[in-house]
A and B are shown apart, each in its own frame.
Chain A
Amino acid sequence: MALSLATASAAPDLAASAPLIVAHNVSAKGDHGETILRGVNLTIARGEIVTIVGPNGGGKTTLTRCLIGARPISAGRVERAHGLRVGYAPQKLAVDRVMPLDVDGFLALGARSTRRQREQALDRVGALRLARRQLADLSGGETQRALLARALLRAPNLLALDEPTRGLDQQGVAEFYRMLAEIRSAEAELSVLLVSHDLTVVMAASDRVLCVNGHICCAGAPEDVETHPEYRKLIGAEDADALAVYQHHHDHTHQAVGRR
């Protein structure tokens, strides 16, 4: 299997025990000089699944992008392991209909690859049938799969997914995490950095949870974070959107829910 082979060939560059990313006292400012993050310290180890939770506007996306080097930081330091390969799936992708681009072409823009490799990547996310579809015609869930396939095509050792289940119905969310578990079981070395609102599901799937609201409020194993007072306080202050999703799960367990 070409993809996992490519991952294996990237791996020897990394010292076996060295963490993939270490952030020292990282701060980040917005376009108008306002502080978004301050004094963040964290480590992402190889093979670890780290989830970032927190309120909207709390800096989850900013932190993710600082860690993978997609955004400048205003203070501190981020060390990335030599040979780190990031596969990133942003929160959303707005493709205008005026650009003709099918999913296969979109994947080809992400990494030099053969058609066969692109088909394999799509197959892994259960989206092989999307290859010839126009990107602008995809639903939210299909777009997420295309983004994930593009991220996987880069043979990453870190998969950074920013709210990958945003806008999916309950079934779609469950399906997504099942898919992620399958990808992970095929590549135990793969680290995953996940930004999410699906608190209950995420907690179960993660090795470590970070609760971020301008800084890291609390961090630890899911069961520890769940009982942490800072986390409970934050969840109380969680925006209505996340709460709605949360309650939704309780109210509509037997019904198909339309996509947002």
Chain B
Amino acid sequence: MDEFYAFFGGAFMLRAALAGAAAAALAGPLGCFALWRRMAYLGDATAHAALLGVALGLIFSLPIWIGAFFVAFAVATGAGLLAISGRLAPDAALGALSHAALAIALVAVSLAGFGAPDLEAYLFTGDPLAASPSEIGAYAAAAFVGLTLIVWFWRRLLNSTLSPELAAAEGDRPRLAQIALMIALAIYVALAMRLVGLLLATALLILPAAAARPLSSRPEMMAAIASMLGVAGTALGLAASAHFDTPTGPSMVTALFVFFALIVGLDALRRRL
């Protein structure tokens, strides 16, 4: 056990590794849906909007993750409703809502007397090394809830992704599954905020799923491989950040990008031959 600790550079490193594993496990299947449903931008925009949640948390002394979760969920579903109403195209609705939330967050924090540095860790780098043991427990529980939601609605989500009209004809009610997916996304945003920062949240979502695609022939397989790549990539990034003394979150994303580039590059090469 001591050697294990030593490898990770101590208990706080192990906790950071666990935090990375929890977020990456959820990011696997969620990232697959982000690719399949073309909602990478949704992930990006909700993550940016979640900064408003951080600001509200700071101002009202609430746990930051609660603010981030609810604002992410509200923006994701709100943009969906705005798009359904036909008033704006989905990407425009999302862009309008999420970046308004981001701007309001910066204004509110400044009005409340906080400085921009208070937000920076949440926006740019995350801070997984500061996670306390109880925080890790909450982290794992949240990831478990998100994963359970996705597994529970798996068939319905896949069917509504493939063909909403076919799903409706077969008696599926896609609304509930959609809400479940948005809840899972909001949970993920709150986790990723602590791990890699809101700016990089989408990278951790998309890269493992995209890297898993050439290795998979079934959707379940792609989700599982994405989770495994994510867990391995975050651990590797963490070890590298300790070794090279680089920021943790960005190191994790860089490690995931290396996986992605290797797999996709080799796959392209294989197709050539």
A-B contact pairs, 5 of them (CB 8 A): A69-B169, A96-B36, A96-B38, A105-B219, A109-B162
Nearest CB of chain A from residue B260's CB, rounded to whole Å: 14
Q: Is the C-beta of A236 less than 8 angstroms from some C-beta in chain B?
A: no
Ranked 10 nearest A-B pairs via Cβ: A88-B169, A70-B169, A70-B168, A100-B216, A99-B36, A90-B165, A98-B35, A100-B217, A90-B166, A105-B218
Are A100 and B218 in contact, with the CB atoms below 8 A?
yes
Nearest CB of chain A from residue B179's CB, rounded to whole Å: 19
Q: Give the residues in chain B near A69, CB-CB below 8 Å.
A: 169, 171
A31–B86 CA distance with the chains assembled, in angstroms: 8
Q: Give the residues in chain B near A147, CB-CB below 8 Å.
A: 166
A96–B213 CA distance with the chains assembled, in angstroms: 12
Q: Give the residues in chain B near A105, CB-CB below 8 Å.
A: 218-219
Q: Is the C-beta of B245 less than 8 angstroms from some C-beta in chain A?
A: no
Q: Give the residues in chain A near B175, CB-CB below 8 Å.
A: none
Contact (A98, B170) CB under 8 Å given A106-B162, A109-B158: no
Q: Is the C-beta of A198 less than 8 angstroms from some C-beta in chain B?
A: no
A110–B166 CA distance with the chains assembled, in angstroms: 9
Chain B interfacial positions (CB closer than 8 Å to A): 35-36, 38, 86, 155, 158-159, 161-163, 165-166, 168-171, 213, 216-219, 221-222
A69–B165 CA distance with the chains assembled, in angstroms: 11
A209–B168 CA distance with the chains assembled, in angstroms: 25
Q: Is the C-beta of A38 less than 8 angstroms from some C-beta in chain B?
A: no
Are A93 and B166 in contact, with the CB atoms below 8 A?
yes
- Closest-by-CB residue of B relative to A64 is B169
Q: Mark A25-57, 1 if CB is under 8 A from B, else 0.
A: 000000110000000000000000000000000
Q: Give the residues in chain B near A95, CB-CB below 8 Å.
A: 162
A147–B161 CA distance with the chains assembled, in angstroms: 15
If A32-B86, A71-B168, A88-B169 are given as contacts, then 11 extra A-B residue pairs at C-beta distance below 8 Å, sorted by A number, are A68-B169, A90-B163, A94-B163, A98-B35, A99-B219, A100-B218, A100-B219, A101-B162, A101-B218, A102-B217, A110-B166
Nearest CB of chain B from residue A166's CB, rounded to whole Å: 15
Interface footprint category on A: 20 to 34
A90–B161 CA distance with the chains assembled, in angstroms: 14
List A82-135 residues whose CB lies under 8 Å from chain B.
Answer: 86, 88, 90, 93-96, 98-102, 105-106, 109-110, 134
A110–B168 CA distance with the chains assembled, in angstroms: 11
- Closest-by-CB residue of A relative to B218 is A105
A105–B158 CA distance with the chains assembled, in angstroms: 11
Residue among A65, A90, A101, A154 making CB contact with B219, cutoff 8 Å = A101
List A234-248 residues whose CB lies under 8 Å from chain B.
Answer: none
User: Max chain B CB contacts within 10 Å: which of A32, A96, A99, A134?
Assistant: A99
Contact (A102, B166) CB under 8 Å given A96-B36, A109-B155: no
A102–B38 CA distance with the chains assembled, in angstroms: 20
Contact (A154, B170) CB under 8 Å given A100-B221, A101-B219: yes
Chain A interfacial positions (CB closer than 8 Å to B): 31-32, 65, 68-71, 86, 88, 90, 93-96, 98-102, 105-106, 109-110, 134, 147, 154, 160
Nearest CB of chain A from residue B238's CB, rounded to whole Å: 29
- Closest-by-CB residue of B relative to A108 is B155
Nearest CB of chain A from residue B33's CB, rounded to whole Å: 10
- Closest-by-CB residue of B relative to A68 is B169
Residue among B161, B162, B163, B213 making CB contact with A100, cutoff 8 Å = B213
Are A109 and B159 in contact, with the CB atoms below 8 A?
yes
Nearest CB of chain A from residue B199's CB, rounded to whole Å: 24
- Closest-by-CB residue of A relative to B38 is A96
Contact (A93, B36) CB under 8 Å given A68-B169, A134-B217: no
Q: Give the residues in chain A near B38, CB-CB below 8 Å.
A: 96
A147–B162 CA distance with the chains assembled, in angstroms: 12
Q: Give the residues in chain A near B158, CB-CB below 8 Å.
A: 109
A54–B124 CA distance with the chains assembled, in angstroms: 58
Are A110 and B218 in contact, with the CB atoms below 8 A?
no
Are A86 and B36 in contact, with the CB atoms below 8 A?
no
